[in-house]
Amino acid sequence: MRRVVLAGRGDLAEWRDAARALAAAGILPEEIDWREKSPEADLSFQRDAMPPAPAATRRPMTVPPVFVELAETVLCHSDPVRFSLLYRLLWRLQLDRQLLEVASDEDVVRARLMAKNVRRDAHKMTAFVRFKETGAAAAGRRKFIAWFEPDHHIVRRTAPFFQRRFTDMDWLIATPKGSAAWDGERLTIKDEPCEKPNLSDVTDELWRTYYASIFNPARLKVKAMQAEMPKKYWKNLPEADLIPGLIASAESKVREMAAREATQSLPFHDRLQQAARHLPTEAAAPAGTLDALRAEAAICTRCPLHANATQTVFGEGPPDAQVMFVGEQPGDQEDIAGRPFVGPAGRLLDQVIAEAGIDRSKLYITNAVKHFKYEPRGKRRIHQKPNMGEVKHCRWWLNLEMQLVKPKLIVAMGATALAALTDAKQRLQDIRGQAMAMEGGRTLFVTVHPSYLLRIPDERLKAEEFARFRDDMLNIQQLMTAIG
Ligand code: URA
């Protein structure tokens, strides 16, 4: 039996040189007793500890690149069997080049598992190293030190990560398995085990206070937390001794939070309460009038859209208007003004109806949905199309408006208005520009929504669509003349 002693600090070249020489001399895996030098021993032994190079008797062995990659990682593992395992795989690969693809092979399984443990350990190191400032370094650079206890020989592997991440400070990461240091120019890796430095300072208290205040008991998932931060890493984290207490009190904290929540009103609640307080106990407007309906709609909570809107934007116009125009929903400006069609789409509509000879003051103008639906994006509120559920909830108000105003002609502007006014599943473009009979002896005229015209990017198409919209308004004007 031949004894081979290696330093084994995750150094591929060290093992590769030994394995090459042994394989070239035809030394079989079972003839070698691989040993790892104890960490305390003088590491300068490396070269002397190699057996005298056996005479080469065979052609050099070759391996697929994937083996080199695997070996590089496995050699970082702290299990002493790693040397013999890799040497056996090296021999077996000469007979079977596809061996590493055999997922059930015992040696392959073991090597892959060891590689996985190494990668996991390296990942934990990148996550749990906590630097402490130790004073100023040369050229005004700041100087930091950290202590970490890895399971495997991963200092060399992970050092480039810290070099990239903390390039503008000087740092030293000390571990029982060697150290890595960066001074802005050179990365120095040493294999000698380090002593644990005393790193506690005032920033620990600061960090602990911060950690305790951002800890959210309602989000606590102990299993996931322990999987991500196994207990063995805790002892070097300043916040670690807080964690058991925070976990133990999490349940009661969540209950407290829930109790507090219940007494805090939602942002829109005050607005509704205020509106309700101003509602006269006796309706100011006689029941069954448009004004009474408007007052009721002002505190509507039939669907969630009321929660984020500034106010209900109800229809406006003469209570006995012959013609009712129905849009989709108030936009940003309408939401603030509390009136329909006063923003860009409204200005366009005003212009086109005026050109067609229609007097806006004679129209009752309303929307299918009475609250502004939007998505906040920075300081802007981006229009969101109401869904069918919201349209159906709001139909309640639209139907009551129609019952009270009793228009003879109703103009649906856009698909949402059409959907709110009729259950028929006709496509807007199929019925656009036609006067159709509605129940109750009314006439329905369908056209596009003016916002559609504002969004057309192509100038030629835009001009065509404007012309069609003008024609629609001229037709409506004629229908208005016909109904008197
Ligand atoms: N778009 C609508 O559908 N209605 C408005 O009130 C404003 C823009």
Report the pLDDT averaged over residues 87-107: 94
Specify the number of domains making up the chain.
Answer: 4
Q: Is it the case that residue 262 has pLDDT exceeding 60?
A: no
Q: Say whether both 291 and 427 belong to one domain.
A: yes
Q: Say whether both 113 and 140 belong to one domain.
A: no
Least-confidence region, from 33-37, 253-257, 462-466 = 253-257
- Taking the C-alpha atoms of residue 242 and residue 344, their distance in angstroms, rounded to an integer, is 57
Average pLDDT, rounded, for the chain: 87
Q: Say whether both 375 and 413 belong to one domain.
A: yes
Q: State the distance from the centre of ligand 1 to the C-alpha of 234, rounded, in angstroms.
A: 58
pLDDT score recorded for residue 39: 63
449 CA: nearest ligand 1 atom: 3
- Taking the C-alpha atoms of residue 94 and residue 117, their distance in angstroms, rounded to an integer, is 27
Q: Is it the case that residue 69 has pLDDT exceeding 70?
A: yes
Q: Is it the case that residue 103 has pLDDT exceeding 80?
A: yes
CB within 6 Å of ligand 1 — which residues? 327-331, 334, 340-341, 343, 345-346, 367, 451
Q: Say whether both 154 and 240 belong to one domain.
A: no
Report the pLDDT averaged over residues 342-360: 96
333 CA: nearest ligand 1 atom: 7
Q: Say whether both 364 and 386 belong to one domain.
A: yes
- What are 416-425's pLDDT values in tens digits? 999 999 987 8
Q: Is it the case that residue 80 has pLDDT exceeding 80?
A: yes
pLDDT score recorded for residue 440: 86
Least-confidence region, from 31-35, 256-260, 281-285 = 281-285
Asked if 118 contacts 76 with a C-beta cutoff of 8 angstroms, the reply is yes
| Domain hosting residue 221, numbered range | 207-262
Q: Is it the case that residue 145 has pLDDT exceeding 80?
A: yes
Asked if 175 contacts 155 with a C-beta cutoff of 8 angstroms, the reply is yes
Residues paired with residue 308 on neighbouring β-strands, in sequence order? none
Q: Is it the case that residue 71 has pLDDT exceeding 70?
A: yes
Q: Is it the case that residue 347 has pLDDT exceeding 60?
A: yes
Classify residue 460: in a domain, yes or no: yes
Report the pLDDT averaged over residues 69-81: 96
Q: Say whether both 308 and 369 belong to one domain.
A: yes
- What are 419-451's pLDDT values in tens digits? 999 987 889 999 999 999 998 899 999 999 999
pLDDT score recorded for residue 276: 61
**In the sheet where 363-367 sits, what is the strand order?**
363-367, 323-327, 409-413, 443-447, 435-437
HSE at residue 380, side-chain half, CA atoms within 13 A, is 4
Give CA torsion, residues 249, 254, 256, 260, to 10 deg: 150
- What are 461-474's pLDDT values in tens digits? 999 999 999 999 99
Classify residue 466: in a domain, yes or no: yes
Q: Is it the case that residue 176 has pLDDT exceeding 90?
A: yes
Classify residue 182: in a domain, yes or no: yes
Place 398 in a pLDDT band, splitting at 50, 70 and 90.
Answer: very high
pLDDT score recorded for residue 271: 63
Q: Say whether both 115 and 143 belong to one domain.
A: no
Q: State the distance from the centre of ligand 1 to the C-alpha of 385, rounded, in angstroms.
A: 11
Q: State the distance from the centre of ligand 1 to the C-alpha of 192, rounded, in angstroms.
A: 74
pLDDT score recorded for residue 130: 86
Q: Say whether both 113 and 181 belong to one domain.
A: no
* Most informative mutation of 305, 335, 367, 397 for ligand 1 (most atoms within 8 A of CB): 367
Higher model confidence: residue 212 or residue 93? 93
Higher model confidence: residue 133 or residue 137? 133
pLDDT score recorded for residue 272: 61
Q: State the distance from the centre of ligand 1 to the C-alpha of 287, rounded, in angstroms.
A: 28
Place 57 in a pLDDT band, splitting at 50, 70 and 90.
Answer: low
Q: Say whether both 360 and 407 belong to one domain.
A: yes
341 CA: nearest ligand 1 atom: 6
Classify residue 198: in a domain, yes or no: no
Q: State the distance from the centre of ligand 1 to the C-alpha of 451, rounded, in angstroms.
A: 8
Reference 215, options 205, 225, 223; nearest CA is 225
- Taking the C-alpha atoms of residue 65 and residue 62, their distance in angstroms, rounded to an integer, is 9
Q: Is it the case that residue 188 has pLDDT exceeding 60?
A: yes
CA quadruple 93, 97, 100, 106: dihedral sign: negative
Residues paired with residue 143 on neighbouring β-strands, in sequence order? 135, 170
Place 120 in a pLDDT band, splitting at 50, 70 and 90.
Answer: very high
Q: Is it the case that residue 187 has pLDDT exceeding 80?
A: yes
Q: Say whether both 145 and 244 belong to one domain.
A: no
Classify residue 407: in a domain, yes or no: yes
Q: Say whether both 350 and 376 belong to one domain.
A: yes
Name the H helices within 144-279.
155-165, 202-214, 222-228, 231-234, 243-263, 267-278
Q: State the distance from the centre of ligand 1 to the C-alpha of 381, rounded, in angstroms.
A: 14
Classify residue 201: in a domain, yes or no: no
Classify residue 318: in a domain, yes or no: yes
pLDDT score recorded for residue 277: 62
Q: Is it the case that residue 54 has pLDDT exceeding 90?
A: no
pLDDT score recorded for residue 451: 96
Angle at 252 between CA 247 and CA 253, to 5 degrees: 75
- What are 263-314's pLDDT values in tens digits? 444 555 566 666 666 655 444 677 789 999 999 999 898 898 998 899 999 9
The CATH number for 289's domain is 3.40.470.10
Classify residue 199: in a domain, yes or no: no
Report the pLDDT averaged over residues 15-22: 94
Q: Say whether both 252 and 379 belong to one domain.
A: no
pLDDT score recorded for residue 279: 57
Report the pLDDT averaged over residues 216-238: 74
Least-confidence region, from 90-94, 168-172, 231-235, 360-364 = 231-235
